Amino acid sequence: EYVLGSRAAYVGQDTYLFPQSVRDNLLFGLKHRPIAPALYNDEERKEREAFWRESERAGNPVLDPNADWIDYELAGAKGPGDLLARIVGVLRQVELDDDIYSLGLRGSINANTRPDLVEKFIKARHTLHGRLQDPAYAGLIEPFNAEKYNKNLSVAENFLFGTPVGKEFDGDNLAANPYMQSVLGETGLDQDLLRMGLSIAETMVELFSGLSPDNPLFEQYSFISADELPNVRLLLQRLGGKGADAVPPADRARLMTLPLRYIEARHRLGLIDSATEERLLMARRAFAQGLPESLRGAVEFYDFERYNSAATLQDNVLFGRLVYGQAQADVRIGTLVSEVLNDLKLRDSVIDVGLEYNVGVAGKRLPATQRQKLGIARALIKRPQLLIVNEAVAVFDGRTQDRIRDNILGSAENRGVVWIANRPNQAGPFQQVVVMTQAGSSRRMA
């Protein structure tokens, strides 16, 4: 999408996105000049003023990138407070609102900066768990319970019973963390995890032997990747069947990481029996009770009455995990969550969180269809007097093309739309149709 000033917009077949958030890419066409200055404290202002003086001396414009550059009036909004409604409306026009909503559920909010939303999402949690008492939803969610082992969480998630903050207890760092190792040693779980790690390693080497790296089994048994497999095989060869006691100290953390990724309900290797569950629950309590003050901020524990800023919105609302193997559980629970959030008027707030999703370099973290829809939305949000759509919907199926076209025309009011069509029947709703023919080929421009 190329910006042609504030009165016109052009959208072509290929949309380029900046490696920023969905919101930044969407609002790019509204940013022509600073609208309102940024707020600084005294120290920050001195630093900025020194920067501006140097910019002036170098002959550069004295424009503050931290200022508010968004032209709200151009978007049809009075200010920041009602811009979200305009954004949601445009996303619906291009049928991108559901996708951004899904990204929002996978995003998170900071409880300290958004206390208004925190209270509402905790209310949504209570409402959802009330609805889950309906027998129609029985067995679809396994709630988080401090006194029970959750078979649909990994061993690591069960152990922490919370969400890591930072890198101390995150992913593969967990098994190597000195405090974690001390708790495992005191509770006797270190040897259990080593034996489980050896069992997993032997099973995976036998199962994956000769398989290509893109084989779906690697995704199903996600606690080991194709890149890790050669190192695991070498480790087993060095051990020569001697057992857990012979594992060198340098390899213990690596081997213990495998069972920490293990999910009983998903992987079904039968490694977690009732006795192991009880030992893990004891270790969970010991971990939380003895956590040093210096590590208090490294994990945010699950609490039904508190919002977990380190967890996703979906985990906060569900306060549990979908049960593996239940037919259409994700669809049925997803619909229920959507109903609850709609009833509490929280859907737009979830979309607001989804707008912070980073699209990656050139938008590579989004599918091609979503990138194209975002490019069209970027042109629509500025309400151009003339919108030129040059086969910008060609990547969609015919019905989607027609719906987006009708949505755009329905909101155009007295503004002009030039539609360069990739199918002749797209020209039907337009007042004027121009057919251009050259060298035996024809294109319709409406």
Task: Please write the tens of the pLDDT for every residue from 212-265.
Answer: 877 877 777 767 777 888 888 888 888 888 888 888 888 888 889 999 999 999
The pLDDT value recorded for residue 4 is: 47
| Confidence tier at 370 by pLDDT (50, 70, 90) | very high
State the pTM of this model.
0.88
The pLDDT value recorded for residue 130 is: 96
1 pLDDT above the threshold of 70: no
The pLDDT value recorded for residue 443 is: 53
Q: Which amino acid, residue 20?
A: Q
Q: With the C-alpha atoms ordered 129, 119, 355, 83, is the resulting torsion angle positive or negative?
A: positive
Over residues 392-408, the pLDDT tens digits come to 999 999 999 999 999 99
Q: Which amino acid, residue 286?
A: A
The pLDDT value recorded for residue 3 is: 43
Length of the chain: 446
The pLDDT value recorded for residue 207 is: 82
The pLDDT value recorded for residue 254 is: 86
Do 235 and 201 contact (CB within 8 A), yes or no?
yes
Q: Which amino acid, residue 428?
A: G
In the block, residue with structure tokens 């992987």: 267
107 pLDDT above the threshold of 90: yes
Beta bridge partner(s), residue 445 = 420, 434
| Confidence tier at 24 by pLDDT (50, 70, 90) | very high
Mean pLDDT on 71-93 = 95
The pLDDT value recorded for residue 7 is: 67
Structure tokens belonging to residue 225: 């990747």
The pLDDT value recorded for residue 439 is: 53
Of 71-85, 317-331, 337-351, 414-428, give the lowest mean pLDDT range: 414-428
DSSP state of 39: P
Structure tokens belonging to residue 45: 């202002």
Calculate the average pLDDT of the chain: 90
The pLDDT value recorded for residue 364 is: 92
Which contacts of 245-249 are long-range, i.e. CB under 8 A and separated by 24 or more positions?
247/194, 247/198
Structure tokens belonging to residue 220: 């199903």
Task: Give the residue with greater pLDDT, 211 vs 63.
Answer: 63
| Confidence tier at 440 by pLDDT (50, 70, 90) | low
C-alpha distances in angstroms, 73 versus 80, 82, 317? Answer: 10, 11, 35
